[in-house]
Chain A
Amino acid sequence: MTADQLHSIPALLARNVASFGDKPAYREKEFGIWQSWTWAQAADQIDALAAGMLTLGAVANDHIAIVGRNRPALYWAMVAAQRIGCVPVPMYQDAAAEEMAYALDHCGARFAVVSDQEQVDKIADIREGLPVLEHIIYLDGRGLRKYDHAAMSSYADVQAAGRAAGLSARLDELSAARSYDDTCVMLYTSGTTGRPKGVVLSNRNVIETSKNSSDFDGLSVGEEVLAYLPMAWVGDFIFSIGQSMWTGFCVNCPESEATMMTDLREIGPTYYFAPPRVFETQLTQVMIRMEDAGRVKKWLFDHFMAVARRVGPDLLDGKPVGGLDRLRYALGNLFVFGPLKNTLGLSRVRVGYTAGEAIGPEIFDFYRSLGINLKQLYGQTEATVFITQQPDGEVRSDTVGVPSPGVELKIAENGEVFYRSPGTFMSYYKNPESTASTKDAEGWVATGDAGFIEEGSGHLRIIDRAKDVGQMADGRLFAPKYVENKLKFYPNILEAVVFGAGREYCTAFINIDLTAVGNWAERNNIAYSSYQELSQHPDVLGQIEAHVSEVNASVAADPMLAGCQIHRFLVLHKELDADDGEMTRTRKVRRVVIADKFSDLIAALYSDASEIYTETEVTYEDGRKGKITATLDLRDAVVAAEQVAA
């Protein structure tokens, strides 16, 4: 098969079966052992399911919802849908019933392939409002024995029916009918504002992007990846289906969500993606455990980490490093870095990416100094992930890299970043107005982020969400995320939300990191009974106050953003949570929701009060609601003198 015939995922699958049929394509740890499937076996499973879906009555262009954690069978379900000309729509498995109802209704799914009883129950709750949904196919039948099976079947039964029907010629016919510009997949954006939107990506979008990005990092059939990020997220679709299908590398699925770190260590991926939060959490854990380590170990760690910080990044970038330092680094590798990387499961990482949020420079440098080639990329669902990424040897913590292959960038007058690329999405499903307002006739797409291209290096730097960048009452620039990121780089601050648009001065809400602060409390014999109590402990507030003041000093040094210093702040009594609608499922803060929900607290920050009593409604994981009350301390932070531009 020639390259120009590889115009769909099923076509790539057929190529992989022909080229490396007996190489592992999928692995999953089950019953304590890594089970694997070769490309030929995977294709057989996919065909059986696809034929089974035909016998259930699926027709071309149907939307088929996929809900569950990363499992080979669910990846096969996506390809099986494509095999019969249908469109897979992966959805967030931890979404609440009403969120899922919206997406299922909006895409008009006739079939849903789900993981287990939990998802079946969730859909059963909302099924009345979904007249179009005909049949559920479930993977794990546990607890479902007594359910009415009129409108649901097990995955294995559907496959058996498919095998019995003998439809392979029909499958080939349906696959061949798909063109390069037909829909490949539909993904719902997490939606920082308003309802999620269904992003329609074509075969061209997915395959061109997978090809370009695989070439960029020289990905090959020998890579190992761990598929653990939500299947509904565009990144997972590109890494675990697009790039895997394009290059033929093996996708490994963890045993359960809780075993992810163990599984990571066992697989030792060569190509790895994680959001900054994962790297932060890992680093926090390492640091906490080093605090508990013996003196000799602690000394070794501190000593060699200092060496690593000095020369590690240069070694990684291939810059000249003196012989003595090389020797020291090699010793450090033997005693500290090697074992540490092994414990983290990152020994074999050749290409690592982080994206989605800004990563703290210390965190970024920590991993790079260990010799892990961690890089940043900038992207979004509408671009089929890639907009910019960092080439090897040009990695920095404060930029997001140069345009990815085939991507054109332009910066609008208001600072908003626009791009045009082979990955530019087709449209938002059933939403021509939003499509038109996001993508213009020439194919330029507004990212919604404000940034600039750095002189000299050509790297893109992102400042903030364009709509969040505003003005203070006196007309100075207000960029909340810039300040929030600086705050979040402190290990004991989990989240920060800065207010100040149209105001005299800026204020902030802070969320403490329970792991870090809890450990500190334990170490210092400070007793607390709840998150709320710990968050209002005077010593904790004192520490946060010091951090805010430090951030103010650093913000004051930037003449453009000096107005964003935080004058007053409070530490929130609850963690911001997606279940309460305060964050998206990908853990980005929803400013409007927060500003509305905690309007009493914001008003207090802009008054003279020194404390405030508040009541907050919270939603538990099972959907029940409760109320928590608290009296919060309002603190003033030290504001640094601004450097007045001459």
Chain B
Amino acid sequence: MKDSYVTSDGRTIGGVLMDMRGITLRFGGVEAIKNISFDIREGEIRAIIGPNGAGKSSMLNVISGFYHPQEGEVWFRGAKRPTMRPYDVARQGIARTFQNIALFEGMSVLDNVMCGRLTHMKTGVFSQAIWHGAAQREEVENREAVERIIDFLEIQAIRKTPVGRLPYGLKKRVELARALAAEPKLLLLDEPMAGMNVEEKEDMSRFILDVNDEFGTTIALIEHDMGVVMDLSDRVVVMDYGRKIGDGTPDEVRGNQEVIDAYLGVAHD
């Protein structure tokens, strides 16, 4: 398992980037995640699927450091991660988008995306306020990085538009832009295509593949659209009631009887 492998479309997937070992997460008496282990490899697109309430978003929240599991270990880049606050996790190179868009509605697209650069800014509030020297240089450098992402995601035309005025599909794209602005090693996408029409899904799929391809970003995503998951991802983890019931390539998962019973659908009697 340590070795790298090559995908059918010719991408080389590296060693283990993140390793989840025996994760159990409880809310009071409810076990949201029951002793789950899986890994995410460098350069991979890894999907987590499962029916509603399976614990997918909880798992993403464990990865992002928002929830702290009662049992198990999180290994990131070859080292065991101590209990961390989410902003420390972000500083380590993990960025995410949210299932229910979490943008600053009154701010422009540009300002929202600039927020993603926060972990790259070193100057303090005071020097930023007087806007001189290092603070100014830093702002220019970061703005340049942000403009490259705006260009990449083709949102130039809405650069100055307040986010609150944008349609849903574009907000999702802005959220992706903000996550990308952090230049993450690992990008977590929580249902990036929920509520989108076919065309928007096609666009978003293309962006996800391009992000992976151009920046070499490792991506872990939760998604309900099976067509999208099977097309995009290299490997899939399947969860059901907090348990892991399948793990493997899309084809392996599709052929797994337990997965078919739980999720992919059999006719109800």
A contacts, CB < 8 Å to B = 30-33, 142-143, 145-146, 255-256, 258-259, 262
Contacts and interface: CB of A to CB of B under 8 A. Distances in A.
B144 A31 contact: yes
Interface string B207-230: 001100110000000000000000
27 contacts: A31-B144, A31-B148, A31-B150, A32-B143, A32-B147, A32-B150, A32-B156, A32-B159, A33-B147, A142-B152, A142-B210, A142-B214, A143-B206, A143-B214, A145-B213, A146-B9, A146-B10, A146-B11, A146-B213, A255-B156, A256-B156, A256-B157, A258-B156, A258-B157, A259-B156, A259-B157, A262-B157
| Interface pairs A-B: 7 shortest CB-CB | A258-B157, A31-B147, A32-B147, A259-B157, A255-B156, A256-B156, A259-B156
Contacts of A33: 147
Which interface residue of A32, A145, A255, A259 has the most chain B CB atoms within 10 A? A32
Given A31-B148, A146-B9, A146-B10, A256 B214 contact: no
A256 B209 CA distance: 22
Contact of A143 (B10, B151, B157, B213): B213
Contacts of B11: 146
Given A146-B10, A262-B157, 14 more contacts: A31-B150, A31-B151, A32-B147, A32-B150, A32-B156, A33-B147, A142-B214, A143-B209, A145-B213, A145-B214, A146-B11, A146-B213, A256-B154, A258-B157
A11 B156 CA distance: 37
Contacts of B147: 31-33
Contact of A30 (B9, B143, B151, B154): B151
Nearest to A32: B147
Nearest to B150: A32
Contacts of B214: 142-143, 145
A259 B151 CA distance: 12
Contacts, number: 36
A30 to B, nearest CB: 7
A145 B213 CA distance: 8
A258 B159 CA distance: 11
Contacts of B151: 30-31
A77 to B, nearest CB: 21
Which interface residue of B143, B151, B154, B156 has the most chain A CB atoms within 10 A? B156
Contacts of B10: 146
A-side interface mostly = loop
Contacts of A255: 156-157
Nearest to A143: B210
Interface in B169-220: 206, 209-210, 213-214
A256 B156 CA distance: 7
Contacts of B150: 31-32
A643 B230 CA distance: 72
A615 to B, nearest CB: 23
A597 to B, nearest CB: 25
A256 B210 CA distance: 19
A143 B11 CA distance: 13
A145 B159 CA distance: 28
Nearest to B151: A31
Contacts of B159: 32
A145 B43 CA distance: 15
Which interface residue of B144, B148, B157, B213 has the most chain A CB atoms within 10 A? B157
Nearest to B214: A142
A145 B152 CA distance: 15
B8 to A, nearest CB: 12
A154 B143 CA distance: 27
A496 to B, nearest CB: 30
Contacts of B152: 142
Nearest to B148: A31
Contacts of A146: 9-11, 213
Nearest to A31: B147
A360 to B, nearest CB: 28
B165 to A, nearest CB: 15
Contacts of A143: 206, 209-210, 213-214
Contacts of B156: 32, 255-256, 258-259
Nearest to B110: A32
A256 B150 CA distance: 12
Contacts of A30: 151
A406 B262 CA distance: 80
B145 to A, nearest CB: 10
A41 to B, nearest CB: 21
A45 B147 CA distance: 24
Nearest to A33: B147
Contacts of B157: 255-256, 258-259, 262
Nearest to A145: B213
A262 B156 CA distance: 10
Contacts of B210: 142-143
Contacts of A142: 152, 210, 214
Contacts of A259: 156-157
A232 B148 CA distance: 29
Contacts of B144: 31
Nearest to A146: B10
Contacts of B154: 256
Interface string B132-155: 000000000001100110111010
Nearest to B149: A31
A146 B8 CA distance: 12
Which interface residue of A31, A259, A262 has the most chain B CB atoms within 10 A? A31
Nearest to A29: B156
Which interface residue of B144, B151, B209 has the most chain A CB atoms within 10 A? B151
Contacts of A256: 154, 156-157
A262 B147 CA distance: 17
A148 to B, nearest CB: 11
Nearest to A258: B157
A256 B10 CA distance: 32
A412 B188 CA distance: 71
B150 to A, nearest CB: 7
B266 to A, nearest CB: 31
A445 to B, nearest CB: 41
Nearest to B159: A32
Nearest to A621: B199
Nearest to A144: B213
Contacts of B9: 146
A251 to B, nearest CB: 19
A487 B70 CA distance: 73
A376 B124 CA distance: 58
Interface string B77-121: 000000000000000000000000000000000000000000000
